[in-house]
A and B are shown apart, each in its own frame.
Chain A
Amino acid sequence: MQTADTLNAYRKELREALENKFQKTALDNFAVAYREGRAKNFAGIDRAELIRQIASAKDAAMGQMDELYARFKQAAEAAGATVHLADSDSAANAIIARIAEENACQKIVKAKSMTAEETLLNHFLENKGYEVIETDLGEWIIQLRKEGPSHMVMPAIHLSRNEVSRLFTEVTGKSQDTDIEQLVKVARRELRQRFVQADMGISGANFAIAETGTLGLVTNEGNARLVTTLPRVHVALVGLDKLMPSLHEALQILKGLPRNATGQAMTSYVTWITGATPSAAAPDGQKQMHIVFLDNGRSALARDPVFSEALRCVRCGACANVCPIYRMVGGQTYGHIYIGAIGLILTYFFHGKNRDKNLVQNCLNCQACKDVCVAGIDLPRLIKEVHTLIQEDGRKPVLNALAVPVIKNRRLFHGLLRTGRYAQAPVTGGAPYMRHLPHALVKEHAFKALPALSKKPFRDRWNPAPHSPPHPEYRVALFSGCLQDFVYPEQLEAGLRLFTGKNIRIDFPYAQGCCGLPLYMLGERAAAAEVAEYNISHMDPAEYDFILTFCASCASHMRENYPFLLKTASGRRVKAAQFAQKIIDFSSFADFLLDASDAGRPEKPIKAAYHAPCHLCRGIGVTEAPRKLLQNAGYDYVPHGEEETCCGLGGTYSFKFPEISAEILNKKLAAVSATGAEILATDCPGCVMQLRGGAAKQNLSLRVLHVAEALADARKSFGRF
């Protein structure tokens, strides 16, 4: 449970988490195993179609939440249950305590429920003198340790068998072995007697089916069945977002939930409960069943045009499984109660901005969560949107105050970048890297060498003549992005050389500014929208067939976010959609335009590894073109397991969280080094900056190149293209 008050305190906790060797290894193994298992889990299933179905079922249910609740209540009560509606977390807790009191319950067993974690139900009941025992093995372990869950599905993934053994020794008063099988059996017997003695069982639910008043529970251990069967009273705490019209929608979700969560086609137990069943423990042979629905902002969320998407979440936990940050630091620091990407969003609404203000910044925008989400939630965007809300509410960080007015004003920004070249002279000594960083930055940012600004930006070097044929087949606008304009103009020039002689006209509209992604990353949505509007008005999509950029981040931001940022601006939003449609990245364009003249395999092929920029492979879905180009260029392309893992830059992220950025970078470079590659090619100048800086710092004999540079090199070496 993450509760740090300041960003510095939070960073201190993150540094400590990075020191936790057991956790890091455990999560790393898990990340790799999960990634490898995923393809198999969805074999024979049209995943995109399933995601669409789940998203639309959830969206439709949200739109009729009140009606579904009324229908559910009517059906469940007809089957002998009592249905309650709690507006807030404290109201839900109070209702449950009252049920316990009215039924003279003292001992309570609980099945795992994130909703009960959300309301801190255990603490509430324990403070009232009730004995509450978690019975899911992982939940029991963390309850005994007085911790919060570190994963939504595997709450004790951060603990070792040794820690569990010590804990069980303490709990049983008998010395325990460290054998996992044996520890599980000890838990079985310790918890069995708790089930037998309990007066009340509390569960959550994965589905609440309005048509029949049925609860659906998806579990593996079987504890939820015992919790809902043995005690004489059953209380289910259920978020209003779990309401579904009929079994049909629940079965659709059930096709995706276990596959995405644990790689199972079906969990061991899926339980459907309609009303109050017979109970031998009850004096009248009839179970008392209460279903408490929790609103806590859900009904308002359901009506929000942007954030309603967050309610699609089915709590599979996959957004943590694929998150490169979670993989490094674990759930105790990567969530307040809800863990992972969805946690960064829900924390704001359920637990408040103070609990989320640091967390929400801890996102690389790498899109891995969006890609894995079985409900099709655009998690990275919602994280940015929450970040924006939090910024608007409070005092903005210094970085925002400095960056916003500059980036918004193209002339000022570019003017500063030009003067920056002179100011940097003392720290670079003329080398292409900054030799001496300002003292305050040295310690944390020393993991990579930072590049120096180019002597002459691309805009001053641009020569349109070779790209202005009289009757061009295509008209192309080049969007350079700041990094290639001012730091790496040679990347653009290398690519443009490949296009010389083709019958295309390339314009470089001088008025273009920053794409605006850094502003959006800082939670400055309004400023990002202004910049989007500015660029579109200076690069009319109607005049071009393609808007070409060599920067995957600019491409992804302009294609995915411009239409969103301008969606309420009448007229502009049409232009934004047209603009977005015409965006193309370098590799796709080169693949489209260049013929690989197959000159056979070069005599001495050079081993080349590839780094897939997040914003290319997931942002705009381009995966084949760059790999194909490298092979066609004559390189010996060597794949590696971390190709599609983020490099750790995340724009301003690496300045805010340098320690994590460094760890992610090191993992990437280690995987690349293991291939024996001489060249590491990628499609984004930001990734080049991060990877090249890291390789230089580690003295690796690895040349990090933009794909454009790698292809231009190959033309020289192997005579391709």
Chain B
Amino acid sequence: MSQLALIEKFTEKARAVSTEVQVVDTIEAAYDYAVTICRDKAACQILSSGCEFPLSDPAEELCGLKQWERLMAAPDLGEDAISALTPRCGDAGIGLIDRGLHAYTGGIDVGLTTATAGIADTGSLVLNCTSEDLRLATMISEVHIAILRAADIYPDTDALASLLSESLSARPGYTAFITGPSRTADIERVLSLGVHGPLALHVLILKEDT
């Protein structure tokens, strides 16, 4: 399957499970995208999702723990990325963190990560996230934005087998397949997004080489 076909298949399958998919040409475009999403996210409300509703007192208390108006976590992108993101976040009035996410369980607006691989067949991301900070960025952020290099898209899990075997052999290791945002249909089989994890998942396919 050609890279273009893989991108198309991935996009089709990911969109079918409520993932937003964009192709970007440069890593800078990806940073701009993330900052824009964070800045414009629910422009009229700054509360974490669910905090606007009547909650028990302890749950209310945790809502109150959110320290920034806007917060972005980018734990695994490396120093260059942080240097590039810092002024962008600063201009947009967004707090930026790259470690210690455990202290922000009250809510993070955007988690920006890099995917290890993509699975075109199911529109899934593969993330090696043995680092707890990276894992939390994909779990407690309300919007998860993942950068996926086009060259890392594989047709299906069979094609990924050797890479996955390697991931699983890491001691310790924590690998996730992520397919769309967190979802439930536990009440009357009505689909609701964002029950525990992200309310939205964006995948930025980085197509630098062509």
A residues sitting closer than 8 Å to B (CB atoms) are 26, 29-30, 33, 78-80, 135-138, 141, 154-157, 159-161, 164, 171-177, 180-193, 195-196, 209, 211-212, 214, 220-223, 225-226, 229-230, 246-248, 251, 254-255, 262, 264-281
- Contact of A274 (CB < 8 Å), options: B57, B63, B169: B169
Across the interface, do B173 and A247 meet the contact criterion of CB distance under 8 Å? Answer: no
Q: Which residue from chain B places its CB closest to the CB of A227 in the assembled complex?
A: B196
CA distance A274 to B168 in the complex (A): 6
B residues sitting closer than 8 Å to A (CB atoms) are 13, 17, 48-51, 53-59, 61-63, 100-102, 105, 119, 121-124, 130-132, 135-136, 139-140, 157-158, 161, 164-165, 167-190, 192, 194-198
Q: How far is the CB of B129 from chain A (nearest CB, A)?
A: 9
Could you pull out 7 A-B pairs where Cβ atoms are within 8 angstroms?
A141-B187, A180-B187, A222-B198, A247-B161, A251-B164, A266-B124, A280-B132
Q: How far is the CB of B20 from chain A (nearest CB, A)?
A: 15
- Contact of A272 (CB < 8 Å), options: B59, B167, B182: B167
Q: Which residue from chain B places its CB closest to the CB of A154 in the assembled complex?
A: B186
Q: Which residue from chain A places its CB closest to the CB of B107 in the assembled complex?
A: A192
Q: Which residue from chain A places its CB closest to the CB of B167 in the assembled complex?
A: A272
With A248-B161, A268-B179, A270-B177: A229-B135 Cβ-Cβ less than 8 Å: yes
Residues from chain A with Cβ under 8 Å of B195 in the complex = 137, 184, 187-188, 221-223
Across the interface, do A172 and B59 meet the contact criterion of CB distance under 8 Å? Answer: yes
Q: Which residue from chain A places its CB closest to the CB of B171 in the assembled complex?
A: A79
Q: How far is the CB of B17 from chain A (nearest CB, A)?
A: 8
Name, among B105, B123, B196, the residue most crowded by chain A CB atoms within 10 Å (CB to CB).
B196
Across the interface, do A251 and B161 meet the contact criterion of CB distance under 8 Å? Answer: yes
Across the interface, do B187 and A184 meet the contact criterion of CB distance under 8 Å? Answer: yes
CA distance A184 to B176 in the complex (A): 24
Across the interface, do A247 and B54 meet the contact criterion of CB distance under 8 Å? Answer: no
Across the interface, do A137 and B187 meet the contact criterion of CB distance under 8 Å? Answer: yes
Across the interface, do B170 and A274 meet the contact criterion of CB distance under 8 Å? Answer: yes
Across the interface, do B59 and A190 meet the contact criterion of CB distance under 8 Å? Answer: yes
Residues from chain A with Cβ under 8 Å of B135 in the complex = 225, 229
CA distance A192 to B179 in the complex (A): 21
What 9 new A-B contacts, CB under 8 Å, besides A172-B54, A185-B49, A189-B62? A159-B187, A184-B192, A189-B50, A214-B168, A222-B139, A229-B132, A268-B197, A275-B171, A279-B132
Q: Which residue from chain B places its CB closest to the CB of A177 in the assembled complex?
A: B53
Residues from chain B with Cβ under 8 Å of A272 in the complex = 164, 167-168, 173-176
Across the interface, do A222 and B196 meet the contact criterion of CB distance under 8 Å? Answer: yes
Residues from chain A with Cβ under 8 Å of B136 in the complex = 229
With A269-B197, A271-B176: A180-B132 Cβ-Cβ less than 8 Å: no
CA distance A177 to B55 in the complex (A): 12
CA distance A212 to B170 in the complex (A): 8
Q: Which residue from chain B places its CB closest to the CB of A165 in the assembled complex?
A: B187
Q: How far is the CB of B147 from chain A (nearest CB, A)?
A: 19
Residues from chain B with Cβ under 8 Å of A79 in the complex = 171-173
With A214-B168, A247-B161: A278-B56 Cβ-Cβ less than 8 Å: no
Residues from chain B with Cβ under 8 Å of A254 in the complex = 157
With A174-B56, A189-B62, A277-B130: A270-B176 Cβ-Cβ less than 8 Å: yes
Residues from chain B with Cβ under 8 Å of A280 in the complex = 100-102, 132
With A26-B188, A160-B188, A164-B187: A277-B196 Cβ-Cβ less than 8 Å: no
Residues from chain A with Cβ under 8 Å of B59 in the complex = 172, 189-190, 192-193
With A154-B185, A188-B196, A280-B132: A209-B168 Cβ-Cβ less than 8 Å: yes
Across the interface, do B168 and A189 meet the contact criterion of CB distance under 8 Å? Answer: no
Across the interface, do A226 and B100 meet the contact criterion of CB distance under 8 Å? Answer: no
Residues from chain B with Cβ under 8 Å of A176 in the complex = 53-54
Q: How far is the CB of B82 from chain A (nearest CB, A)?
A: 20
CA distance A439 to B101 in the complex (A): 73
Q: How far is the CB of B11 from chain A (nearest CB, A)?
A: 15
CA distance A265 to B176 in the complex (A): 16
Name, among B13, B158, B168, B170, the residue most crowded by chain A CB atoms within 10 Å (CB to CB).
B168
CA distance A196 to B140 in the complex (A): 11
Across the interface, do B132 and A268 meet the contact criterion of CB distance under 8 Å? Answer: no
Across the interface, do B56 and A156 meet the contact criterion of CB distance under 8 Å? Answer: no
Residues from chain A with Cβ under 8 Å of B48 in the complex = 189
CA distance A70 to B185 in the complex (A): 38
Across the interface, do A274 and B121 meet the contact criterion of CB distance under 8 Å? Answer: no
Residues from chain A with Cβ under 8 Å of B50 in the complex = 185-186, 188-189, 192
Name, among B167, B171, B181, the residue most crowded by chain A CB atoms within 10 Å (CB to CB).
B171
With A225-B139, A269-B176: A137-B55 Cβ-Cβ less than 8 Å: no
Q: Which residue from chain B places its CB closest to the CB of A197 in the assembled complex?
A: B58
Q: Which residue from chain B places its CB closest to the CB of A272 in the assembled complex?
A: B175
Q: How far is the CB of B30 from chain A (nearest CB, A)?
A: 23
Across the interface, do A221 and B183 meet the contact criterion of CB distance under 8 Å? Answer: yes
Q: How far is the CB of A279 from chain B (nearest CB, A)?
A: 6
CA distance A173 to B171 in the complex (A): 45
Residues from chain A with Cβ under 8 Å of B51 in the complex = 189
Q: How far is the CB of B190 from chain A (nearest CB, A)?
A: 5
- Contact of A80 (CB < 8 Å), options: B101, B132, B171, B182: B171
Across the interface, do A247 and B184 meet the contact criterion of CB distance under 8 Å? Answer: no
Q: How far is the CB of B162 from chain A (nearest CB, A)?
A: 10
Across the interface, do B164 and A247 meet the contact criterion of CB distance under 8 Å? Answer: yes
Residues from chain A with Cβ under 8 Å of B55 in the complex = 172, 174, 186, 189-190
Residues from chain B with Cβ under 8 Å of A266 in the complex = 119, 122-124, 177, 179
Q: Which residue from chain B places its CB closest to the CB of A159 in the assembled complex?
A: B187
CA distance A264 to B121 in the complex (A): 12
CA distance A281 to B63 in the complex (A): 20
Residues from chain A with Cβ under 8 Å of B165 in the complex = 212, 246-247
Q: Sorted from nearest, which 9 A-B pairs have the closest CB atoms? A: A222-B197, A174-B54, A138-B186, A275-B172, A185-B50, A79-B171, A280-B102, A189-B50, A270-B177
Residues from chain B with Cβ under 8 Å of A255 in the complex = 157
With A196-B62, A212-B168, A254-B157: A275-B173 Cβ-Cβ less than 8 Å: yes
Residues from chain A with Cβ under 8 Å of B197 in the complex = 221-222, 225-226, 268-269
With A79-B172, A79-B173: A221-B124 Cβ-Cβ less than 8 Å: no
CA distance A262 to B63 in the complex (A): 33
Across the interface, do B196 and A223 meet the contact criterion of CB distance under 8 Å? Answer: yes
Residues from chain B with Cβ under 8 Å of A188 in the complex = 49-50, 194-196
Across the interface, do B53 and A226 meet the contact criterion of CB distance under 8 Å? Answer: no
With A188-B195, A196-B62, A251-B161: A80-B172 Cβ-Cβ less than 8 Å: yes
CA distance A268 to B169 in the complex (A): 23
Residues from chain B with Cβ under 8 Å of A135 in the complex = 196
- Contact of A185 (CB < 8 Å), options: B13, B53, B100, B186: B53
